[in-house]
Chains A and B, each alone.
Chain A
Amino acid sequence: MSYTLNHLKTLEAESIFILREVAAQFQNPAILFSGGKDSILVTYLAKKAFYPAAIPFPLVHVDTEHNFQETIDYRDSLVKKLGVKLLVGSVQESIDTGRVAEEKGYNASRIRLQTTTLLDTIEKYKFDCCMGGARRDEEKARAKERFFSHRDEFGQWDPKNQRPELWNLFNGRMHVGENFRVFPISNWTELDVWQYLAMEGIEMPSLYFSHKRKVFNRDGTWLADSPFIPMKPNEKAEEQVVRFRTIGDITSTGATFSTASTLDDIIQEVASSRTTERGGRADDKRSESSMEDRKKEGYF
């Protein structure tokens, strides 16, 4: 017997360690669940970490209500299968109660509004820790994020003053009113995620696989034809064979032309891809530091 592990097993062991630290160090933690592959992975790893006990965290979905129906169907069936509690924070409610104002125009998006809803949801349920599926390889501001990321009483991230994180020792101490964001899959790349999902044979939402869909092109991004995105006069929907590399709010999730219909196909495609997955995300294209700015305000 040789005592070596492949990179996927090593990453799994690390992520499970983090999930258990969260359960041990916090009073009222939750998993932020977007319906995308990364939050599905975190949920799946949480099941492994605590089996045969139930996952000791609720899933929190900050819902823009601009969803793909497939995402909601998958979410609901997963919740049922795992017997985990689902809590929904509604952006629509934040708009209706005047906490935030809906953006106007063709590129209107509810991404930025999610921050207020998220912070309100944390406040409402008194979560002291929210876990997310963010990965450091996704985006340059995230490359500097800790596993245990401290947030002040306003939910803000202070990138210049982060706690050093040494060995496998994670410091979750805080004052009343502060909270933590924890990212159990920080060290995974997009390719690692797909390889692991294939190795484990995990069922994924249909949106990730090749399918026919009506899409239209805006500034180089193929967006789904949807009542939530008003088309400009010169834009026209056409049927294409596509899949989604990331799944988020429908208004900012770009489709890619693809015939990948299995997890193995996706691994091949990702391995040979020449653009990053967030390259299709309209929310990151707004400015060079849009993710960093959103994070400082309290975004995932």
Chain B
Amino acid sequence: MQNTMTDTAEKFDSKSYLNMELLRFTTAGSVDDGKSTLIGRLLYDSKSIFEDQYENIRATSERRGETTVNLALFTDGLKAEREQGITIDVAYRYFSTPKRKFIIADTPGHIQYTRNMVTGASTANLAIILVDARQGIVEQTKRHSIIASLLGIPHIALCVNKMDLVNYDEAVYNKIVAEFREFATRLKTRDIHFIPISALNGDNVVHRSDKMKWYEGVTLMYLLENIHIASDINHIDMRFPVQYVVRPYSDEFHDYRGYAGRIASGVIRKGDKVTVMPSGFSSKVKSVELDGKEMEEAFAPLSVTIQLEDDIDISRGDMLVREGNLPKQSQDIEAMVCWMSDKPIQLNGKYFLKHTTKDARAVVKEIKYKLDINTQHRITENPSIGMNDVGRISIRTTAPLCYDAYTKNRDTGSFILIDEGTNVTVGACMIID
């Protein structure tokens, strides 16, 4: 095997790993765009495939009568998938370089793709969208881009794959880029990158291609390692959904009452004046801590425990926010929904709802339109939202939600709907301002 790990060992020398960041990305493409090959290539060229795993896929490739080691096999998971040669569910892959740790949400291209892509996209910093250089922009490309935009993924990398099959022709690449730029004017995502690659041969994936001298941009790996992601998190509007109340009931901490949670956005400091939602009571931050260690300030997405100066009745589902910077509060919510159940969304149907740490029930008051995910066209006549459909709905909740628009805050702007009979998650919702 040609790979050696010596350079990786050096790379991880000393305590440099204490400065590594975490980047989450998702991959989308239609069935034969070479998505699995690309992931296999990223892992292989970044030396993240181990000998026993490599040996496994080498043996499988040979058994199947393939002439080269099929890197795509590395992403095969379940038995049924290996038998049928398809991917069924979102799979998570991991690799790291000295700069960053990466989490890939590997989402299947065909069966239930909207549902799976939405799942993978919900926490992603970046979406890789693959295009087959021979096919150009197809309906699936647009669909995946619209979902990425809808889910508020901050960065898109459009990879034009299989450049080897079009003789690494610059004109082919330029035509695809131009067409996508035109289409992308209607997307919310502002940061879009274009890279010509061959996942099969490794061109511009980790190593620069010597076959596309005309391309002056970076490799995909360079982009993943260096793209600025610190601003992906909202550090302005402090939102702290209370997750759990810590009461030790011990002699030493007799009167201790700590509010445990994960900061959804913004920064919180000792001494900050805060308002408790929805009650509207005010108090001051007495301490921000974790594991008994106080901090001067903490920021999203840290999990901390907060003590307040005043004894107020606060429980799970409440939200601490900075005084003077309040979220919206209402029982009537407008949202885009991505539906994930065989049974279509029911007008006047009741569902359980989960928003931040709050549980409520909701009734669907109106189905405003269904979105044609290929054209962004709105279907308003008798819209029915079924499996893998996206649309706009109005709901009324049993208790007021404290929320922000999804475009401002992915955590306080999202909720899920749960079927009351089966307890299954059926709707992924993004709140409209």
Residues on A facing B (Cβ under 8 Å): 1-14, 16-17, 20-21, 23-24, 47-54, 136-137, 140-141, 143-144, 159-160, 162-169, 171, 173-175, 186-187, 189, 191-192, 195, 199, 267-268, 271-276, 279, 288-289, 292-293
A17 to B246, CA, bound (A): 14
Which residues of chain B are near A20, meaning CB under 8 Å? 243-244, 260-261, 303
A164 pairs with B292, CB closer than 8 A: no
Which residues of chain B are near A52, meaning CB under 8 Å? 246, 248, 250, 252-253, 256, 258, 292
A187 to B302, CA, bound (A): 16
A292 pairs with B78, CB closer than 8 A: yes
B122 pairs with A24, CB closer than 8 A: no
Interface string of B84-124 (1 = CB under 8 A from A): 00001111111010001101000000000001101100110
Which residues of chain A are near B118, meaning CB under 8 Å? 164, 166
Binds A, one of B19-27, B29-37, B126-134, B170-178: B19-27
Which residues of chain A are near B416, meaning CB under 8 Å? 166-167, 169, 171
A292 and B316 in contact, given A10-B301, A17-B262, A53-B247 (Cβ under 8 angstroms):
no
A275 pairs with B301, CB closer than 8 A: no
A3 to B266, CA, bound (A): 10
Which residues of chain B are near A267, meaning CB under 8 Å? 12, 17
Q: In the complex, which residue of chain A has the Cβ closest to the Cβ of B250?
A: A52
A53 to B5, CA, bound (A): 44
Which of chain B's residues 407-430 have a Cβ closer than 8 Å to chain A? Answer: 410-411, 414-416, 418, 423-425, 428
A171 and B418 in contact, given A17-B243, A137-B94, A279-B50 (Cβ under 8 angstroms):
yes
A8 to B20, CA, bound (A): 8
A266 smallest CB distance to B (angstroms): 12
B301 pairs with A174, CB closer than 8 A: no
Chain B interface SS verdict (over half): mixed
Q: What is the interface size of chain B, counting residues whose CB is below 8 A from a CB of the partner?
A: 84
A187 pairs with B94, CB closer than 8 A: yes
B290 pairs with A143, CB closer than 8 A: no
Partner of B235, one of A3, A162, A174: A3
Which residues of chain A are near B77, meaning CB under 8 Å? 140-141, 143-144
Answer yes or no: B76 CB below 8 A from chain A CBs. Answer: yes
B52 pairs with A289, CB closer than 8 A: no
B5 pairs with A273, CB closer than 8 A: yes
Which residues of chain A are near B319, meaning CB under 8 Å? none
B51 pairs with A275, CB closer than 8 A: yes
Answer yes or no: B240 CB below 8 A from chain A CBs. Answer: no
B346 smallest CB distance to A (angstroms): 18
B8 pairs with A23, CB closer than 8 A: no
A186 pairs with B101, CB closer than 8 A: no
Which residues of chain A are near B22, meaning CB under 8 Å? 5-7, 10-11
A276 pairs with B291, CB closer than 8 A: no
A49 pairs with B303, CB closer than 8 A: yes
Answer yes or no: B432 CB below 8 A from chain A CBs. Answer: no
Given contacts A6-B19, A21-B243, 16 further A-B contacts (CB under 8 A): A3-B230, A4-B21, A7-B17, A8-B18, A10-B21, A17-B243, A52-B252, A52-B258, A159-B88, A164-B340, A164-B425, A166-B425, A173-B352, A186-B92, A191-B96, A288-B79
Which of chain B's residues 213-235 have a Cβ closer than 8 Å to chain A? Answer: 230, 233, 235
